[in-house]
Amino acid sequence: MKKVIIGIICIVFAISKTMASHVFGGEITWKAVRDNNAPNFQRDGYGFIFIMTLYRDCSGIPMNGLNPSMMVQGNPVDKFGSVVNSISLSPAPGRLGTGYEITPICNGTTSIVRCGAGNPLSGGGGVASRGAIAAVQFWSDTVWLTGVPPGSGWFFQSSAGAIPCCRNANDNTGCTGDMILRARMLPYFQSTSNGPTVGIPVQRLGDDSPEFLEFPNSNMVQTSGTADTTLLLLGAVDRDLDKMVYSIDNPFSAINTPCSYNRGYSINNPMPNMVPAYGGANQPIDSLSGIIRMLPNTQGNFLICIKVSTYKNGQKVAENFRDFQTVIITNSPGLGYVSGQSAPRIFGKNLLSGNGLISGENMVRFFGDEIQLEVRASDFAPATDSVTVRFTSNSFLGTYQTGLDTFRVDSGCFAPPCASIRSILPNSTSVIPKISLNGMEVGYGVKARNNVAFQIKWKTSCAQSIQKDSSFLGQVFPQYYPLNFVANDNQCPFNGKNTFSLNLVLKEVSIPKPTIDNLTFLPSQIQMTLSNLVDISSQEAFDTSLQQSVFRRVNRFHGLQIYRDSCGAGMSPLVTLWKPAGLTDSAQLSWIQQLGWVDRSLSRDTCQYTYVVRSVYGCDSLGSIPSDPKSILVLNGKDLSKVENESVKLYPNPASNKVYFSFARMLPTEIRVYGISGNSLFQKDFGVVQQGEFSVEGWPYGTFFAEFWVKRNGQKVKTSVIKFTVLQD
């Protein structure tokens, strides 16, 4: 971006639409807060502060001093028992409430593309410029919402007329008049230790919405060549480490009233000449980073709305919408834009493997792995360019201690799993400072002429898992860390920008089904050998050796739980075999491979005993699914045999209404269904059938095990155990 001729800028904007109040956009978010007085917190739990951020053209009506309100749908109740139908807002503390400019600074000057009298991009000379913009925030008092939101959630919208009229006219939607901002808080369900799935009251969950830390771009330059600017609508971070998914949505121009994209634009193509996200067809936004790229070839005012959906343990818990407009100005000679000028290049490298990383890729690792990355940016067009690289992302969110290594210290730690970030260019002793825009902090970064780079070292651990207190859920869900790095130069009138985005996915190693082998019957006891406890044949794609993959699984294996059904009394825990502490990797593997057990407590000669084994794995010593039903043992007198596994089908899986089953032939059949913790939910004798069904309507969301029992020689024998999932209809 080259030097600007102010007069030509004035001419450019003289063709803009008739002047209005110039509302550029905004969003609604919330923070979960608690009373530090322990008795109050026990009584009231978490409350919420709702934040409405508005973006205004500097030529528009000032917005500080307003007291807007939000309307609430879904009938939430506060701690006093009153229905909350509306929420009042007041100017936020300090500069947040009086307004802070977010127009980029270029070449160290504040005289171009700035808010202020006489600036042509601030409405000087009677033109509706829509260029320099400022953000103003409005906060609520603490709102003490209680209970579980309905399935459709609690819906928060700015009240009609709360935002001073009106939207800027735009070239890609039918939106006119009012701007209605919105957000939605959804229910979260969790299994309890005894099986049922229950909704967690919001005052106990205390879940934050995402927070938008990256300011939206108000301006771009029309170009038909290389992308000299990148439109960024990213920057959301979630302090609860929930997974975030970005998509395009429709803006609202009235309460409950979306307005569509038109004039040739659509949700799949909302703005001119968009570059599909990382090469994907019909993907205008990268779903895990929120990055939108453009080669803008049309001047005008373009409105867009992005939705950030957050997921906790696979369940959507919130939707927040950023409604915003970007102005694309013509590439006139006065702007000095030529094809030889470009935005910075930015790229990343995995230091452990030495391999380059592709922007937008999922980098899958496991809890406990070490992450070492290097991020570099360069800009030699022109040769005098200064380039800055900064980061604002989940894994580095929080309070920092700045020094030779910049530590994340929001959890009070100065060692793993906290990340450390070190500058290596311009030199290895550079401190990584805070980066501000017009006095507002936007992250940490490094600035230098032509080349900048820094390294990240992060020893992850189970602390990154949000499942650490939820072992009864039966699994650890992957944890997503969108690592977004922004490189910008100092060109005028608008900085050239580019991004490198890496979706780091931390997950738990797979939990294999154990197998019972080599059965030996002795008087009053059974000796069994257990195998298939650790996969020693496969290798994670990113590991340099099979041994590294195997030892990762060995370290995650904690032991075995053995259950027994004695004489039809029901399955109950019998013994847990814990791995000895203090063993080397090789010794651990040897112990696992030689694992066996003898049941010496068989008390009757003519009784049926069945056994099920579960592996104990992972961050939280989670149990695997039960051992394969072929491993169920039946002891009748002194004759020991494995039960034949009857061919049975169960469908659909997952189910929400009815579950069907079928055998290859007619059989006397009984079905027993248990929750993941072993609690009984359903039992029915179907008689002699080949197929049948049972209803799961109204069952809680979760995982269940269906046991199929048939009669043999006058006795009921369990033949199959099938895992299935129930979804909400």
Residue-by-residue DSSP string for 118-141: T-GGGTGGG-----SEEEEEEEPP
Check residues 200 and 477 and name the one with the higher pLDDT.
200
Pick from 223-227, 229-233, 564-568, 674-678: least confident:
223-227
| Architecture of the domain made up of 341-508 | Sandwich (2.60)
Which carries the bigger pLDDT value, residue 337 or residue 326? 326
pLDDT at 480 over 80: no
Work out the pLDDT band at 323, boundaries 50, 70, 90.
very high
Structure tokens at 114: 């700035």
CA distances from 545 to 366, 553, 554, 587 (A): 16, 13, 15, 19
Return the CATH architecture of domain 645-729. Sandwich (2.60)
Closest CA to 701 of 661, 660, 656: 656
pLDDT at 277: 64
Q: Which residues of 107-138 are buried (b: 16+ CB within 10 A; e: fewer)?
A: beeeebbbbeeebbbbbbeebbbbbbbbbbbb
φ, ψ dihedrals at 528, nearest 5°: -130, 150
Report which residue type is found at 186: L
Work out the number of other CB atoms within 10 angstroms of the CB of residue 268.
13
Whole-number average pLDDT of the chain: 77
CA proximity to 315, closest of 182, 151, 72: 151
Q: What is the pLDDT of residue 13?
A: 35
Count of CB atoms situated within 10 Å of the CB of 81: 7
Contact 373, 359 (CB under 8 A): no
Which of 110 and 395 is assigned the larger pLDDT? 395
pLDDT score recorded for residue 609: 73
DSSP 587-622: HHHHHHHT-EEEE-----SS--EEEEEEEEETTTTE
Which residues of the chain does CATH 2.60.40.1930 include?
Answer: 645-729
Please check whether residue 122 is in contact with residue 153, taking contact to mean a CB–CB distance below 8 angstroms.
Answer: no
Look at 49-63, 97-111, 201-215, 398-412 and tell me which has the smallest mean pLDDT: 398-412
* pLDDT (mean) for 420-434: 77
Q: How far apart are CA 56 and CA 475, in angstroms?
A: 46
Tokens of 717: 């024998």
CB neighbour list of residue 74: distance below 8 Å, 6 or more residues apart: 149, 150, 152, 153, 154, 155
Neighbouring CB atoms inside 10 A of 198's CB total 12
Determine the topology of domain 511-643 in CATH.
Answer: Immunoglobulin-like (2.60.40)
pLDDT at 531: 84
Q: Where in the chain is the domain with CATH 2.60.40.10?
A: 511-643
User: Residue 305 has which token pair?
Assistant: 């709305």
Reported as a single tens digit per residue, the pLDDT across 334-369 is: 555 555 667 888 999 999 888 899 887 888 888 778
Q: What is the pLDDT of residues 260-315, one digit of tens each?
A: 999 999 998 899 888 776 555 667 888 877 888 887 888 888 999 999 999 887 78
3-state helix/strand/coil string of 169-231: CCCCECCCCCCECEEEECCCEEECCCCCEEECCHHHHCCCCCEECCCCCCEEECCCCCCCCCC
Local confidence band at 523 (pLDDT 50, 70, 90 cut-offs):
low
Q: Is the pTM of this model over 0.85?
A: no
CB 572 within 8 A of CB 627: no
pLDDT given at position 27: 96
Residue whose C-alpha is closest to residue 486's, from 372, 360, 377: 377
Most confident of the ranges 32-46, 227-241, 435-449, 595-609: 32-46
**In this model, does residue 91 exceed pLDDT 90?**
yes
pLDDT band for position 615 (cuts 50, 70, 90): confident
- Helix (H, G, I), strand (E, B), or coil: what is residue 470? coil
CB contact at 8 A, 707 and 720: yes
149-198 pLDDT, tens digit per residue, is: 999 999 999 999 888 877 878 899 989 888 999 999 999 987 655 556 78
